[in-house]
A and B are shown apart, each in its own frame.
Chain A
Amino acid sequence: MHALIQAIILGILTGGVYALMASGQTLIFGIMKVVNLAQGAFVVLGAYLTYTLFVQFGMDPFASVLITTPLMFLVGVGLQWALIRPLHSDDVAQLSLLVTFALALGVEGILSFAYSTTLTNIQPKYANFSWTVVGYQVNLVRFCAFALSLVVLAVLYLVLKRTKFGRAVRATVQNPMSAQLLGVNAQRVSALGFGLGAATAASAGSVFGMLNAFNPGSHYDLISRLLTVVVLGGLGSIGGSVVAALVMGVASSVVSAMASPIWSDFTFFIVLLLVLLLRPRGLFGARTRGAL
C-alpha cells in the first residue's frame, strides 16, 4: 500500500510536467491544425538553454524560466513565420508534419554539434532534496515543477480567456474563416500561438532537465509521449491534455512500481486504444474544442 501511494504521488507530480509540454502542443494544433513534431525538440532546447544559464552563469533553473520562455516565444514566432506560414493552407496538416519533423532533426543536429550527444542533466544543490510527509517522499524539484506547471497553465488559461488575443485565438480555433471575416488576423494569431507553444515547451524543458538526464536525441521519446497525451485528451483541448498527462503519469508510475516497468508505458497505450475505440475524439475533444 505504501508503494502504491508513493507511486501515485510521483505520477501526479510527473504528470504535471508533461501537462505543461502537451498544452503547447495541443494549442498549436487547435489554432493551426499543425501537428508539431518539433515540440519535444523545443523542450530539449529549453533544457539546454537552462543548462547553459545554470553552468555558465550560475542561474537557478527555475529563475531561468523568465529568460528561456520569452526567448523561445520569439524563436517560435520566427519559426512559424519562416517555415509554417508559407505552407499552402489546404495541405498544411500533412506538410507541417514533414516541416516540423525536419525542424526537430535540425534542432537535434545543432544541439549535438554544440553540446555533444553525451547525457547531461541540470543539478542544482537542492535537486535531490525531499520532504518526508507522513512517511512519503515528496521531492522538492518535482513539487516545484508541478507548481510551475500549474502557474504557467493558469497564465495560459487567463491569456486565452481574458485577453483580446485569447478571444482571437479561440475564434480562430472555432472557425478560422469567420474569425478572419470578423477582422482577426489569422497569420498573426498563428505566429503568436506557435510562439506560445514553444514558450510552454521552454518552461517545461527547464524542469525536465532537472528531473531527467537528457541529450539531443531525447526529443524522440518525448514527442511520442506528447502525441499520445494530446490524442488521449482530445486534439486541441488544453484541459483534456492536462487530464491525459496526469492519467499517463499516474498509470505509468503505478504500473512501474507495482507490476513491471516493461508494462508501464504499454498500459497507457492500452488506455489510449480503449479511449480511441470508445470515444475517437479523445476525452475532451468535442465538448471543449472551441473553448480550448
Chain B
Amino acid sequence: MHLHKRRGLSRARLWGVGVLAASTLALSGCAAASGTSSAANSAPLKIGISLSLTGDFSSSGKAAQRGYQLWAEVANKSGGILGRKVQLDIVDDASSPDQVVTNYTNLITQTKVDIVFGPFSSLLTVPASRVASRYGYSFIEPAGGGPSVFDQKLNNLFFVQPAESTRGGDVFANYILSLPAGQRPKTAAYAKLDDPFSAPIADNIQKRFEAAGIKTVYDQTYPSETADMTPIVAGIAAAKPDVVIGGTQEGDAFAQIKAMIQLKFNPKWLYEANGSNSPGDFPAAVSLANTAGVFGSIDWYADSTISGSAKFISDYIAKFGGDANQIDPTSAEAYSAGMLLQEVAAKTGKVDNATIIKTLHAGTWPTLVGNLSWDATGKPKGEYLLVQWINGKLQTVYPAKTAQASPIAPKPNWAG
C-alpha cells in the first residue's frame, strides 16, 4: 500500500514534470520559430546572414558584409537593440543557390538566430527568402531586386533599395520626358546586355520613349561574353541617335564608353544603367575627364545628401579605411537593412519577426537609400536618383526636389 502510494505519487510527479517539460519545449520551440524577444531579455540579439564571401559574387558579398558589420558595431555602441547586444552570425554561401538554402536552414534551426538578413543577388535571395518564409522569419534584404524575387509574392520580404532593380532607369525617362517637346531627343539607340537585370532597365525606358514619339534607330542585345564593344558602338554611331541608353552592368558600360571615345562618337545624352554610377571605378576605367555629362542612376553614393550618410561614411572609413568614393553602395544598403530593424524596435518596443513584418508593411522608413515603403510583395514603391557627372563629380540632377545641380545637355565632347 505504502509502496503503491509511493508509486502513485511518483506517477503524478512524472506527469507534472512531463507536462512542464513539454510546455517548456513547446514555448521555447515557438520562441525559436518566431525569433521572439518579447520577454525582458538581455541575451544577444542573434542575426544570421549568409553572404557570398567567395565565388562569383564575392566582391559584392564582402561589401555587404562590411555594411552589416559596421551597422552592428554602431548599434552596439549606442546600447544595442532594446538593450540587447547585436551579434552577427555571417556564413559563406560561396555564391551558390544550394548552399544558401543550407545556410539559412542551419541558421534558423540549428544556430537558432532571432532574425535573418538577406544575402547578395536575386539568384540567392529567391531560395533564401523561401526558407525564411517557411519558418516565419522576416526577410529584410539589401541586394535581391530582380522580378523573380517579387514574383514569389512573399509578405515577409522587404527589399532595401528605392525600387525594383529593373526600374532603375525610370528616373532617366522621367527626366527626358519632363523636358519641353522641342528640347527632347528625337532618336534613341539601345544597347543591352543579355542579362535579367540590365536589358529590362533599357526596355522600360524604351517603352516610354517610344510611347512619347522618340524614334528607335538602334536596338540590339549583346551576350555577356562580349568583351569588345567597338563594333557595336560602330553600329550605333552609324545610326546617329540623339540619346544612347546602355542596359549595362559595370564592365560592358566601361567598354561602351571607351569604344565611343575611340570612335569619336558623342551622343547628346548618354545613360548607362550601371557602371557610370560608380564614383571610384568609372573615372578609373575611362579617365575622369571623359566622365563629363554621363548619366546614371543610383540609390546611394558618397556625396548623397540623405540624412545619416555623412556619419555612415566617417564610421566606415574609421573602421575599414579607404576613401568615401571607394564605398560600395551595397555596404550602405546592408547598413540600411539594420537601420530598419532598429526603427521597428524603437517604434514597437519589440523585435520579433511577426512584429517586424507587420510594422514594415505600414508607413515609410528612412534609410541611407531614401525613405522606403513596400507593396505586399516587398517591392519598394520609390524611385532611384538620377545622377550625372558634372565637374568631375557625381551629382544628383533629378528628381528636382533632391537635385544638387541642373542636368547638363547636350553632353560635352569626350576629352579623348
Taking Cβ atoms with an 8 Å cutoff, the residues of A that contact B are 2-3, 6-7, 10-11, 14, 112, 116-119, 121, 123, 125, 127-130, 132, 137, 139, 142, 211-213, 217-218, 221, 252-254, 256-258, 260-262, 264-265
Contacts and interface: CB of A to CB of B under 8 A. Distances in A.
A128 B290 contact: yes
B123 interface: no
Contact of B59 (A117, A128, A254): A117
A254 B230 CA distance: 11
A119 B254 CA distance: 10
B325 to A, nearest CB: 15
Contacts of A123: 284-287
Interface residues on B, range: 35 or more
Contact of B194 (A128, A252, A262): A262
B255 A14 contact: no
What 9 pairs across the A-B complex have the smallest Cβ distances?
Answer: A261-B222, A256-B231, A3-B238, A128-B261, A257-B231, A253-B231, A119-B251, A257-B235, A212-B227
Contacts of A252: 231
Contact of B264 (A3, A112, A130): A130
A221 B221 CA distance: 18
Contact of B234 (A7, A117, A264, A265): A7
Nearest to B255: A213
Contacts of B222: 256, 261-262, 264
A124 to B, nearest CB: 10
Given A128-B262, A129-B416, A213-B251, 17 more contacts: A3-B238, A112-B58, A117-B56, A119-B251, A119-B254, A123-B286, A128-B416, A130-B264, A213-B285, A256-B231, A256-B232, A256-B235, A257-B238, A262-B221, A262-B222, A262-B223, A264-B231
B221 A261 contact: yes
A3 B234 contact: yes
- The prevalent SS among residues of A at the interface is helix
B151 interface: no
Contacts of B228: 10, 14, 211-212, 253
A213 B254 contact: yes
Contacts of B285: 121, 123, 213
8 contacts: A116-B59, A117-B58, A119-B250, A128-B262, A128-B286, A217-B56, A253-B228, A258-B235
